[in-house]
Amino acid sequence: MFIEDLIVDIQGLTAELGQAAIFLSLLAALWSIVLLSIGLTKRRPNLVRSGRNGIIATFILISIATGTLIFGFVTDDFSMKYVVEVSSAAQPLLYKISALWGRMSGSLLFWLWLLTAAGGVVVLQNRRSKDSLADYALIPIAIVQLFFIVLVTGWIEGVYNPLARFPAGQIAADGQGMNPLLQTPSMAFHPPTLYIGWISLTVPFAFAVAALLSGRIGSDWIHRSRRWMLFSWIVLTAGITLGGHWAYQELGWGGYWAWDPVENASFMPWLLGTAYLHSVMIQEKRGMLKLWNILLITLAFQFTLIGTFITRSGIITSVHAFAQSDIGGYFLGFILLSTLGVIALIVYRWERLKSANRLESLLSRESSFVLNNWLLVGLTLIILWGTIWPIISEAIQDKKASVPESFFNQVVVIPGLLLLFLTGAGPIISWKKITPNNFKRMFIPPIIVGLIATGIAWIYLAIKTVLKDPNQIDGGLFANIPGGLLFSGEKFPIFSLLCVFASVFVLVAIFSEFSRGAKLRTKRQQTTFLNGLRLLIQRNKRRYGGYIVHIGIVIVYIGIMGSKGYFLLESESLKLGESMEVGAYQLTMKDTFQEERENYFRSGVVFDVSKNGKHTTSMRPARHFYHKAGQGDQDTIESAIHGVGMDNLYIALGPLPAKIDNTTNVNAQVYYNPLIRVVWIGVAIMVLGGLVAITERSESTTST
């Protein structure tokens, strides 16, 4: 009793405390901007120190504000507007906490909190730094913070303060509860991972601005922010994949990527970040691309805001059901102003941004990096084009329109395959200019192995097509010539074969890089091959970590090729005891089940799965009826997924009546997704490679 009373007493104060903290943080951020600017221009170390403290203070204040909101969730404080909207008493604790980013105002506060934490970390990391580069970087960080603080104050129409209460004394009996679709572990972790990835991108951007502000355009700013960039990249890689994994498990359409505007918004900064990670190497090695790197990181940062703009402004309709508001205009304004600021700084520092070298040949490692950059930036622009096509269309032809998934699937294939090829060609091509010797030694073996693998894949695909439908032998254009079998089928699998060739080429190229280096070490250190390999990676974590990422990329491509290119889909209406077929599998509806869970009711059917007459497993797809879902009659698809080697058998069910008997029709949509697990494995390898690369300490003293 006593504790409950105490909680109620505290609840009476927390929201107000949090609101006060937000207001004070506004002053603290302003304080930092002003003092750092004056301190750095007038060379007054004590002002700079005070500015740094302002950054720490902002972090503490926003932590208090976020803490009070979490307290409101955990203690079910239904006098708070935001708590009522996204939480309810019965919601499990994990989802009470993840409700923090369940809606717009809360997610802005959460974003801000992460941003202030990043600012705090930058201060701590650089507290013993001999130069002032990091102090310069704190200015743009504080400006971005200030922008977000203004957004959560509640002064802007359409965005209320997440700590706001209902008018005087009104208390709701219970909350409306979070959207049941969001009540899964991957959805609890997916948004914060993306946020962390996006926010850490702010730091390298801030260092680029710091380089412009301070005039120290060497490679210092890149070294100092390298680990932030890699961290952001790793987290974004994981976060985007978690989102795909969530869609795959929860949405019941058997896929993981649909080129939805919000997915694109998360993917575009990743592409730009990837481009940046490559182009900085050219600046470090050859003193080129200085201006480009600054532009690239600026663009990557702006795209994190553009993503938010796209999802929150309501200018583009998206599945992601975030409420729309006037906030888009503020984002657009901030994006434009900050870009103009960077451009002004670039003009101001123009003389120092000149390259030390030029491209010497089209066939060189430098060129392969430049091509990589163009392709990645090009892909970003293509995806942006497709995403904002509704706006463009309305502007130029005065008609509302959009492009479907197939647009994206088709336009990304060629740049995507070129990029895949580059992940292998880049690391083995020589600097400055390719030599015949370099080509013979490094390129010929992987090309030969790649061609052999392509031939095998070609024959395999042709046989599979014919086995599936023997009539197609006659239908083929080249049916009457020897080997015409290979050209049968609806269409020649050109992209699959190119993908196989490039994948094998890259794997052979990268693995021989590893083995060459490891053998050298083995010989020099008189040790075992494995030990040599370990030493090799340890001595140059950045390089070989990067190669591991490349291997992961290849594996992801193979998985995408299989799961996007060769999936099977069957939909049928079944009664108890009836069965259906998908590929080689036979599914028989055996039984039904009903279970009561903590905050939902689970109802579903049991399928017996057999392959060629042999029983392999049973699967239990279901639907969930959430007790407190805010929308009463809403139930959600809970698909059943069964792994077969690297493939998945996937069942999603249509609406079910409360009681199923022998006459009830159950609607099953069944997918066979080949190689889909390969996608998740490939991403795991990419993340692992990133982690290897990030452990290398930056050499912060060298500069060009």
- By the criterion CB under 8 A, which residues form the site for other proteins? 85, 103-104, 158, 160, 176, 179, 181, 251-253, 314-315, 317, 319, 321, 323-326, 358-362, 367, 374, 378, 382, 385-386, 389-390, 393, 399-404, 406-407, 410-411, 414-415, 571-573, 630-631, 633-637, 652-655, 664-667, 669
Nearer of residues 571 and 702 to other proteins, judged by Cβ: 571
CA distance 78 to 73: 9
State the minimum distance, in angstroms, from the CB of residue 642 to other proteins: 18
Nearer of residues 406 and 480 to other proteins, judged by Cβ: 406
State the minimum distance, in angstroms, from the CB of residue 459 to other proteins: 30
CA distance 322 to 311: 7
Q: Which value, to the nearest 10 degrees, does the dihedral of the CA atoms of residues 574, 579, 582, 584 take?
A: 180
CA distance 606 to 349: 68
Q: How deeply is 186 buried, as exposed, middle or buried, from its count of CB atoms within 10 A (0-12, 13-18, 19+)?
A: middle
State the minimum distance, in angstroms, from the CB of residue 52 to other proteins: 37
State the minimum distance, in angstroms, from the CB of residue 321 to other proteins: 5
State the minimum distance, in angstroms, from the CB of residue 328 to other proteins: 9
Nearer of residues 48 and 247 to other proteins, judged by Cβ: 247
State the minimum distance, in angstroms, from the CB of residue 577 to other proteins: 16
Q: Which residues pair with 594 in a beta bridge?
A: 603
Residue 135 φ then ψ, to 5°: -65, -40
State the minimum distance, in angstroms, from the CB of residue 632 to other proteins: 9
State the minimum distance, in angstroms, from the CB of residue 359 to other proteins: 6
Nearer of residues 324 and 339 to other proteins, judged by Cβ: 324
Nearer of residues 528 and 631 to other proteins, judged by Cβ: 631
Nearer of residues 530 and 569 to other proteins, judged by Cβ: 569
CA distance 250 to 234: 24
Nearer of residues 397 and 480 to other proteins, judged by Cβ: 397
For residue 544, the surrounding DSSP H or E stretch is: helix 541-565
CA distance 335 to 327: 12
Nearer of residues 165 and 541 to other proteins, judged by Cβ: 165
Give the length of the chain.
Answer: 704
Nearer of residues 573 and 702 to other proteins, judged by Cβ: 573
3-state secondary structure of 635: strand
Nearer of residues 160 and 487 to other proteins, judged by Cβ: 160
State the minimum distance, in angstroms, from the CB of residue 311 to other proteins: 13
State the minimum distance, in angstroms, from the CB of residue 154 to other proteins: 13
Nearer of residues 199 and 316 to other proteins, judged by Cβ: 316
Structural contact between residues 149 and 116, judged by C-beta atoms closer than 8 angstroms: no
Residue 324 contacts by C-beta under 8 Å, 6 or more apart in sequence? 312, 313, 314
Q: How deeply is 72 buried, as exposed, middle or buried, from its count of CB atoms within 10 A (0-12, 13-18, 19+)?
A: buried
CA distance 321 to 195: 17
State the minimum distance, in angstroms, from the CB of residue 175 to other proteins: 11
Structural contact between residues 388 and 256, judged by C-beta atoms closer than 8 angstroms: no
Nearer of residues 320 and 534 to other proteins, judged by Cβ: 320
Residue 176 contacts by C-beta under 8 Å, 6 or more apart in sequence? 84, 85, 86, 88, 628, 630
Q: How far apart are the first and last CA of the chain?
A: 68
State the minimum distance, in angstroms, from the CB of residue 608 to other proteins: 21
State the minimum distance, in angstroms, from the CB of residue 270 to other proteins: 20
> Which of 29, 51, 46 has its CA nearest to residue 123?
51
CA distance 212 to 189: 36
Nearer of residues 53 and 176 to other proteins, judged by Cβ: 176
> Which of 261, 557, 601 has its CA nearest to residue 412?
557
Nearer of residues 475 and 657 to other proteins, judged by Cβ: 657
State the minimum distance, in angstroms, from the CB of residue 370 to other proteins: 9
Nearer of residues 41 and 317 to other proteins, judged by Cβ: 317
State the minimum distance, in angstroms, from the CB of residue 674 to other proteins: 21
State the minimum distance, in angstroms, from the CB of residue 656 to other proteins: 9
C-alpha triplet 106, 109, 114: angle, nearest 5°: 125
> Which of 512, 560, 490, 10 has its CA nearest to residue 255?
560
- Tell me the Cα Rg of the chain: 28
CA distance 516 to 519: 5
CA distance 78 to 99: 14
Alpha helices by DSSP H, listed for 254-326, are 261-286, 290-313
Nearer of residues 548 and 660 to other proteins, judged by Cβ: 660
Query: What Å distances lie between residue 541 and 10, 128, 537, CA to CA?
Result: 51, 26, 5
Residue 73 contacts by C-beta under 8 Å, 6 or more apart in sequence? 83, 87, 96, 97, 99, 100
Structural contact between residues 108 and 195, judged by C-beta atoms closer than 8 angstroms: no
CA distance 380 to 384: 6
